[in-house]
Structure 1
Amino acid sequence: MTIDAVAGLGFPLGSGAGPFAVARGTDKLEQSMRLVLLTYPGERVMRPDFGCRLRDFVFDAVTPATGIQLADEVRGALEAWEPRAEVDQVDVVPDPAVDGLVHLVVGYRPRGESAARELVVAFQTDRSGPAEGVG
């Protein structure tokens, strides 16, 4: 079965031509990947381990070390919870215009396909750089 054969309710739930919007193929896959990244473990009662711990980094400064940790967290969550995607690379790119904003750039391929794709998810931290001394 190819990724284009998969369809499901769109996320977030909305209306389309029928009673509910339907997502197919890579749109559905990318919606599922976003859902993994934006769900914190413990939010789903019946699947307490599902999700990604991105929120653990909200109060961290945007540094190269934090970028490595964020990339590892994103890769691990997607590999654990989205078997339809093969994650090739995760880059954490600070936004030069907005302090504390990073773009999580996930290079992936739908499993069984050779075409590389990219998913970009914005992530806002509360801090833009290393903490400065007080006083």
Structure 2
Amino acid sequence: MTGAVNHGFLGTGWVFPVGHDSEQGIRLSDDGAATVRQSIGLILGTAPGERVMRPDFGCGIHDIVFDVNDAGTAGRISRSVREALARWEPRIDVLDVYAVPDPQDRRRLLIEINYQVRSTNSRFNLVYPFYLA
């Protein structure tokens, strides 16, 4: 298998948003780093209780959506993100999570997640925008 990359641990999965390929099948991602990044987005974008067969899956940040945009809220969001990723994404080690107000939109917090993929020791950064109502 010269030139091929083994994504055994990182896996393959559906591309999000879900769509179909040119052969009318479900589009799949075979890029391990992209699969992990999409998984993080799914975890953060899912509120516990949304999935019928897995009611505890997701991240509790959705319970904070009506809170005031202050340091206490940012701390609760950081903690909730760290706990959800530790529980639901075993392919990574969470290095840091910061939630800071977006200087251009007071209703939005920018959640910066620094993580390391366990199988490759590659480090990545993801910024997830979270809107407070």
Q: Same fold (TM over 0.5)?
A: yes
Q: 2:15 aligns with which of 6, 10, 25?
A: 10
Spell out the pairing of 1:1-135 with structure 2 (5 A cutoff): 2=7, 6-18=11-23, 19-23=25-29, 24-126=31-133
1:57 partner letter: I
1:31 partner letter: Q
- 2 CA distance for matches of 1:124 and 1:66? 12
Root-mean-square deviation (CA), in Å?
A: 1.7
Contact 1:4 1:26 in 2 (8 A): no
- 1 CA distance for matches of 2:21 and 2:109? 32
TM-score by length of 2: 0.86
SS of 1:48's partner is: coil
After the TM superposition, list the runs of 4 or more consecutive aligned residues in structure 1 that deviate by more than 6 angstroms.
none
**Deviation larger for 74-83 or 23-32:** 23-32
SS of 1:88's partner is: strand
**Aligned residue pairs: how many?**
126
Contact 1:60 1:125 in 2 (8 A): yes
Structure 1: unaligned runs, 5 residues or longer = 127-135
Higher relative contact order (CA 8 A, sep 6+): 1
Structure 2: unaligned runs, 5 residues or longer = 1-5
Contact 2:116 2:122 in 1 (8 A): yes
SS of 1:46's partner is: coil
Measured after TM superposition, the shift of residue 38 of structure 1 is 0.8
SS of 1:33's partner is: helix
Percent identity, aligned pairs only, is 37
TM-score by length of 1: 0.85
